[in-house]
Amino acid sequence: MGMIRTQNFQQTFRMLKLSKSIGTNRFFQNSSYHILSGTKTAKELRVQAFKEIEDIKKLNPNFKPTLKIIQVGSKPDSSTYVKMKLKASKESGVNCILEHLPKDISEAELLNRIENINADNSIHALLIQLPLPKHLNETLITNAVSYTKDVDGFHRYNVGELSKKGGEPFFLPCTPNGCMKLLQEANIDLSGKNAVIIGRSDIVGTPMASLLKNKNATVTVCHSRTKNIEEIVSKADIVVAACGKAQYVKGEWLKDGAVVIDVGINYLPDSTKKSGQKLVGDVDYESAKKKASFITPVPGGVGPMTVAMLVQNVLTAAKRQLFESEKPPHITPLPLHLKRPVPSDIDISRAQQPKYIGKVAEELGVRDSELELYGHYKAKISLSVLDRIKDRKDGKYILVAGITPTPLGEGKSTTTLGLVQALTAHLKKPSVATVRQPSMGPTFGVKGGAAGGGYAQAIPMDQFNMHLTGDIHAIGGANNLLAAAIDTRMFHENTQKNDATFYNRLVPKKGGKRTFTPSMLRRLQKLGINKTNPDDLTPEEIKKFARLDIDPESITIRRVVDINDRMLRQITIGQAPTEKGQTRVTGFDITVASELMAVLALSKDLKDIRSRIGSIVIGSNNSGEPITVEDIGCAGALTALLKDAIKPNLMQSLEGTPVMVHAGPFANISIGASSVIADKIALKLVGTPLNKNDAEPGYVVTEAGFDFTMGGERFFNIKCRSSNLKPDAVVLVATVRALKLHGGAPDVKPGQQLPPEYTEKNVELVRKGVSNLCKQIENAKSFGVPVVVAINKFSSDTDAEIQAIRDASINAGAEDAVATNHWEEGGKGAINLAKAVIRASDKASEVKFLYDVEAPIEEKLTTIVQKMYNGADIELSPEAKKKIELYKSQGFSNLPICIAKTQYSLSHDPKLKGVPAGFTFPIRDVRASIGAGYLYALASEIQTIPGLSTYAGYMNVEVDEDGEIQGLF
């Protein structure tokens, strides 16, 4: 590199030490100079970086610092610099990706590409190779790079932070930082020294001045308009030349012992060189070395350091991302201003000012690129977050279920919200509630919303209960497309008798060529036809492929609507003259009863939901063979309609703790729980790094529909089988009111005043009714998980009644039984419950399923009835027996199963309270949700679209003059 050999650095340091000891005002009293070798120091830094990366990989195998370089055009000098960066990155263990873009790329296209890279979590650093073509605004482009990836240090944030006292830029610009590193390596004390910088560029001069100033040097910046530069330089202890003028600074300008940092890169003609030119700096090296104590050569000085510091910045960016990914969520709670008496739910929700949802996401550890905003207070979380945090250990998984309830409900959702508010806002434990999205049917019907209640609810309550981000509407649209596709297919098959003509219309020519769709290819594979060219099928194969021959009586898909519209329970379709007599009797379900909603709840990712949708059995052909959505040919379209619905929704509780709201499968005929995806994301977000065994995990609190006999059993046997997630504890919600009902108190009816037995002290009724609670504790413990009882306390409950419940719970095997008052006090009222849950979840547990899925359908049903319901046996109707035989023949008998029954009794009869025994449980029908992956039996007439009462919830709803919704509950 043309470097002059001089005394080594050790001798230099000794001389520096000596000069300080004799109190000289100059670095050296002689003209001996020492080369500041950027080549040597840069090599040492690359070796250090490589070793550090390898050391981190031992604990984090997926650690891969990655730099993306964007080069616009192909200028030779830029290409040379890029090659240097690629070489240095490789030697340092940094993954460097070069992306060439055309010279004439538009500014908008380049900005869009930068934005995509900003959002790519696998890229830690982004560098725009300068200079850019003149039609591109360099300031705009460099500022478009995220300041967290701006390893050049050019973003306005990094520049601004560097320039202010006490600022904290994410990155220091590489060349100035390299200069400072060389000064540091030479052990040069900068405090109080007079430093002169020649050149005021944003890349070197200006940031160099800030760095020197921050080391307490006295800094003068000279430029083209500065007068008497020679005189200013002559007084400098340190000279940084960065003006872009070849050999501009002369040796006679320097004072003896000055430190000279030459940043210049210039080419001069030189006939002795093969290239015809030589590389020189901004300093006349030959004359300057006679006066300098330290001097950087060109080449071999600052240049290698620039690239080395770039590598250091990339490594810093990757380590910072790793550190951020390993930090537990830090959630700042919102204060509650409690009022007595407790206002309505909507008034409480409206009185609280929520955080912006972006802040909730940031505190939880969700990045901007993983968040899709839907206004200020709700957002969707991209599934890409799971790829980023997939290697984390899961947090603790808590299931909230309940005893057999009254028609008024016992407060499971309120307890779920109160528990997370207590865990996070009061005990400082990271937690997330994962809950179902409410249907507008119950919201406008009798039940009301499902956001919790009192001072334990998700907010904004009106947005939570109405529309949210449109997931239920997406399910409705997809379901109704499927229903239309089924009827349309039957219509065309029945009205087009010629197989060849029908086939030609089913697989039409486009541009003179026919091709099979992906769904068609899957159907051909299912039929054993190994052909991909539509013109190659024989007439027999054409008929086999094209004719689905659907039996109308077997169709299980009904249209849906998200309203309790009882008049749609049974309808006749196809009555228009255009339908040529293709009429049939069908009906509507409420949207959340669609199998697509269950598929959404149980899917793991987009690929899984596509597969499950294709597997949905819509009915049978006239030979009894199952017909699937894949056969109909619309699985891809349905997936397209649900591609956004598959992303969980993020909201918050009244105390600002995160709440994920996703999916809402109908609790009677499905799992009645929120989505697997939401649980998986939440568990990773509050989880711990794999390599930190002492890290404390956070908590995910989710809820099962109805009582444990129904919702809890399905949660374990269906949802947990599908997700491979195992709860660490179960919370059973009980009330004095419900236990008095099971103890013999009069029936509770919605909208009617409670009988006095419920508002007056009656310990004896409670003691009689706790048998139901004890049976539910037994049910929950049978799955091998610790149980905590949450006694949701009402103002009329007495200490003696609460104690009776607590004593019975402990005797039945519960870890604890805790009275809570979260409805009135928010998280503060559930602190003791949260502490009990923490203790219970730390106990060892081993989840056990109730039955083997390979067991016969009849055996699985009998097991549920005997072990969960306390019944004696099952009784199958002829229709149920017929269906069971059909599913056996179709290969569906090895699926888990749930039972649709009343939620008001352990049995099939809502009048049987407490713990009835010895009854025979009637099964009138068995149906299949093959895409969702389970069967379900019907114990009685279950309405899959509820009706509205005489006085319904919608009657209370109004919108005030400011557009605020009133009257929701």
Catalytic residues, by residue number, are 85, 129, 152
> Burial, 411: exposed, middle or buried (Cβ in 10 Å; 0-12, 13-18, 19+)?
buried
Q: Bridge-partner residues for 585, per DSSP?
A: 572
Decide if 96 contacts 67 (C-beta within 8 A).
yes
Q: In terms of Cα–Cα distance, which of 439, 433, 11 is closest to 186?
A: 11
Q: How far apart are CA 798 and CA 764, in angstroms?
A: 12
Question: What one-letter code names the amino acid at 38?
Answer: G
Q: Is 779 left (phi over 0), alpha (psi -120 to 50) or beta?
A: alpha
Decide if 128 contacts 152 (C-beta within 8 A).
yes
Q: How far apart are CA 402 and CA 529, in angstroms?
A: 52
> Burial, 497: exposed, middle or buried (Cβ in 10 Å; 0-12, 13-18, 19+)?
exposed
Q: Give the tokens for residue 677.
A: 């995806």
Decide if 823 contacts 654 (C-beta within 8 A).
no
Q: Give 327's DSSP letter.
A: S
Distance between terminal CA atoms of the chain?
79
Question: What one-letter code names the amino acid at 861?
Answer: L
Contacting residues for 841 by C-beta, under 8 A, at least 6 apart: 396, 398, 699, 728, 729, 786
Strands 34-35 and 292-295: parallel
Q: Give 102's DSSP letter.
A: -
The CA distances from residue 398 to 318, 361, 382, 424, 662, in Å, are: 33, 21, 24, 14, 17
Q: Give 135's DSSP letter.
A: T
Decide if 129 contacts 86 (C-beta within 8 A).
no
Torsion of CA 596, 600, 601, 602, to 10 degrees: 100
Decide if 24 contacts 16 (C-beta within 8 A).
no
The DSSP annotation for 679-708 comes to HHHHHHHTSB-TT-TTPPP-EEEEEBSS-I
Main-chain dihedrals φ then ψ at residue 115, nearest 5 degrees: -60, -40
Decide if 859 contacts 851 (C-beta within 8 A).
yes
Q: In terms of Cα–Cα distance, which of 708, 679, 714 is closest to 935?
A: 714
Decide if 355 contacts 656 (C-beta within 8 A).
yes
Question: What one-letter code names the amino acid at 375?
Answer: G
User: Crossing angle for the helix pair 595-602 and 471-495, nearest 10 degrees?
Assistant: 130
Q: How far apart are CA 198 and CA 232, in angstroms?
A: 10
By three-state DSSP, how is residue 657 classified?
A: coil
